Amino acid sequence: MVGTMINVASVVTGGALGCAIGARLPENMQVTVVQGLGLVTMLIGIQAALETQNVLILLASILTGAVLGEALCLQGVLDALGNRFQAAFSKSAGTSPAEGFITASLVFCVGPMAILGSIQDGLKGDFKLLAIKSMLDGFASIAFSASLGWGVIFSAVSVLVYQGAITMAAGALDEVLSEGMVTEMSAAGGLIIVAIGLKLLRVKDIRIANFLPALVIAPLVVAFLPTLKTWWAVIWG
């Protein structure tokens, strides 16, 4: 859990610093900073998505995950959670933390570094990857909170729960997940990060949270692919 705690501290510190200087930044500068963050976010997502070994697996994961996410209304759940923070603290600053909380939580939690780094931390006590991610998240939280408000700070809770759970379950995951499963899971996460970049750039308001089941679907597709190939060979052989 060392790596996750470092990550949580970086998000809280960066978020607080961003809130402190956010009001002093001109509006145009805030917009440009978020756009720059959106461009870099898209680059990170594209790099991860291109690691896929089979684009059909990625396609199946994203589409199936989207259908499942829409059925479960995951975006609505996250929106409601963010709005609860807004209602609880609306008297303090008059800001709306929902967007900052949701956007930052997705950016910090969805991606190969969060998954792989947490697994390494849990299995070997090696938190180097999470330390690198913490630096990136710290700078990102400054930019996010400067323009999206103090709700970004609460995304540290998402990081703690998400990465902490993966770290504690790393032993079991190591026995279940193959290298191919992790690769396709990371590729699906990368494509979701591309969607986050598009939203940050105001290109398209995508219901990003509804794609999250793709992270579970991807390794399942990889696991059942050999069986599907066997059935195909029997039927058409």
176-186: pLDDT as tens digits: 778 888 889 88
Residue 159 tokens, joined: 């990081």
Residue 104 tokens, joined: 């930052």
Report residue 78's pLDDT band, with 50, 70 and 90 as the boundaries. confident
Residue 227 has pLDDT above 50, yes or no: yes
CA distance 10 to 160: 12
| Cα end-to-end span (Å), the chain | 50
Average pLDDT of the chain to the nearest whole number? 82
Instruction: Determine the angle formed by the axes of helices 98-109 and 74-93, rounding to 10 degrees.
Output: 130
Residue 212 has pLDDT above 90, yes or no: no
pLDDT at position 1 is 83
CA distance 47 to 37: 15
pLDDT at position 133 is 87
User: By residue range, what is the domain housing residue 96?
Assistant: 2-236
3-class DSSP assignment, residue 2: helix
Q: What is the pLDDT of residues 54-64, one digit of tens each?
A: 999 999 999 99
Read off the pLDDT of each residue in 78-85 and give the average, rounded to a whole number. Answer: 70
**Radius of gyration (Cα) for the chain, nearest Å?**
19
Of all residues in the chain, the percent with pLDDT exceeding 70 is 86
pLDDT at position 33 is 74
pTM: 0.72
In terms of DSSP H, where are the helices of 94-213? 98-109, 112-124, 128-148, 155-168, 170-176, 179-200
State the CB neighbour count (10 A cutoff) for residue 95: 17
pLDDT at position 97 is 66
Read off the pLDDT of each residue in 194-201 and give the average, rounded to a whole number. Answer: 85
Q: What is the pLDDT of residues 184-194, one digit of tens each?
A: 988 888 898 88
Number of domains in the chain: 1
Per the model's pLDDT, the better-predicted residue between 148 and 86 turns out to be 148
pLDDT at position 25 is 66
CA distance 9 to 108: 13
Residue 65 has pLDDT above 90, yes or no: yes
Q: Which of 184, 182, 204, 185 is nearest to 194 (CA)?
A: 204
Residue 93 has pLDDT above 50, yes or no: no
Residue 11 has pLDDT above 60, yes or no: yes
